[in-house]
Homo-oligomer: A and B are copies of this chain.
Amino acid sequence: MPEIKRLYLTEADVTGMLDMDLALEALDDVFRARSAGEVRNEPRHRLPAGNGSMNFMAATWPERGWAGHKSYVSGDFRVMLYGTNGEGLLAVIGAGRMGQVRTGAASGIATKYMARGDASSVGIIGSGYQAQTQLEAVCAVRDIKNVKVFSRTPEKRERFASTMSERLGVNILAVDSKEAAAEGMDVLVAVTSSVEPVITGDMVESGMHINAAGNNSWMKRELDTGAIVKADLIACDDIDQSKIECGELMRAAEVGHFAWESLVRLDQIVAGLRTARYSDDDVTLFESQGVAFEDLAVCGRLYEMALERGIGTELA
């Protein structure tokens, strides 16, 4: 076996290497691999840890040679990457920025394969740090001309509009209600930590694709059951994890307006095993929880890139 380099990659190392294209490519690959049964995933677990919890989630992709897990406590996100061919530990990777980009990229992949091909407008509810990569990813997969953003604090949505407009070169308008952000939009993104639904049934329009990318707790929901019911197809990143984290689907199922059996794995759509929409009028919904195999796919690429470019600190 050739000598193994173990690397420690900081947030700064990762930020210098990772862009949306890399994440989109890594996720496209891993979704296809998963559809072929190559990827194993363990849903997020949480243990109480003082003010908050320790979160940990794991995945393996032996065909690609990678196994790994992400954990986080108090906002410090770390991925540990192992080789599956006897190498042992390959890297310890700062994973805050990585998580933000891969979560955006997951919505990008969903939009690419589920939204109308001519989708050109995006409504986004939420203007936090996750909102940036959500919008960036959607703009990377569709020719977006117009964006509307709503979040509760006027200064924040205005800042988001000006910053992201400049960065992405699209027209972004800050609006003063979630309804205004949704009206007439081809793609609608919710990326909040809201407990109460921000997308209600009356906001869902014919032909719309929705990415629900915010919270991952059964105690919260971004869509009300009226909105769930309007979706012709609902996809997710992982069914097991959705059943324990996706508050809006759990509630809709509990009251009999949604059946878990109808939930489609995004990887099946990406691989062409399942059709996302049968007409331009269909409403499609992607429920993003954020799963370990997405982290693994991106971090495996980061490790390879770091080796090539000589980035990171070598570990004994």
The verdict on A255 contacting chain B, using a C-beta distance below 8 Å, is no
The verdict on A50 contacting chain B, using a C-beta distance below 8 Å, is yes
Cα(A151)–Cα(B206), bound, Å: 72
Cα(A41)–Cα(B196), bound, Å: 32
Considering the complex, give the chain B residue whose CB is closest to the CB of A92: B92
Inter-chain contacts of A50 with B (CB < 8 A): 62, 65, 67, 84-85
Q: Quick one: which of B47, B76, B84, B313 contacts A58, CB cutoff 8 A? A: B47
With both chains docked as a complex, state the minimum distance between the C-beta of A65 and any C-beta of chain B, in angstroms: 8
* Total copies of the chain: 2
Cα(A84)–Cα(B316), bound, Å: 27
The verdict on A125 contacting chain B, using a C-beta distance below 8 Å, is no
Cα(A222)–Cα(B197), bound, Å: 54
The verdict on A183 contacting chain B, using a C-beta distance below 8 Å, is no
The verdict on A164 contacting chain B, using a C-beta distance below 8 Å, is no
Inter-chain contacts of A53 with B (CB < 8 A): 60
A80-B82 in contact (CB<8A): no
Beyond A87-B74, A88-B74, A89-B76, whether A49 also contacts B82 by CB under 8 A is: yes
B84-A59 in contact (CB<8A): no
Considering the complex, give the chain B residue whose CB is closest to the CB of A292: B47
With both chains docked as a complex, state the minimum distance between the C-beta of A117 and any C-beta of chain B, in angstroms: 37
Between A53, A54, A62, A83, the greatest number of chain B beta carbons within 10 A of the residue's beta carbon is seen for A54
Cα(A48)–Cα(B42), bound, Å: 11
Inter-chain contacts of A84 with B (CB < 8 A): 49-51, 54, 73-74
Considering the complex, give the chain B residue whose CB is closest to the CB of A86: B74
The verdict on A145 contacting chain B, using a C-beta distance below 8 Å, is no
Considering the complex, give the chain B residue whose CB is closest to the CB of A313: B316
Beyond A74-B86, A88-B76, whether A67 also contacts B40 by CB under 8 A is: no
Considering the complex, give the chain B residue whose CB is closest to the CB of A9: B316
A80-B76 in contact (CB<8A): no
The verdict on A289 contacting chain B, using a C-beta distance below 8 Å, is no
Cα(A86)–Cα(B58), bound, Å: 23
Residues 75-132 of A contacting B (Cβ, < 8 Å): 75-76, 78, 80, 82-89, 92
Inter-chain contacts of A86 with B (CB < 8 A): 51, 74
Residues 35-65 of A contacting B (Cβ, < 8 Å): 40-42, 45, 47-51, 53-54, 56, 58-60, 62, 65
- Knowing that A71-B82, A73-B88 touch, tell me 13 more A-B residue pairs with CB under 8 angstroms: A8-B8, A8-B316, A10-B316, A40-B47, A40-B48, A40-B49, A47-B59, A49-B60, A49-B62, A50-B84, A56-B58, A71-B80, A74-B82
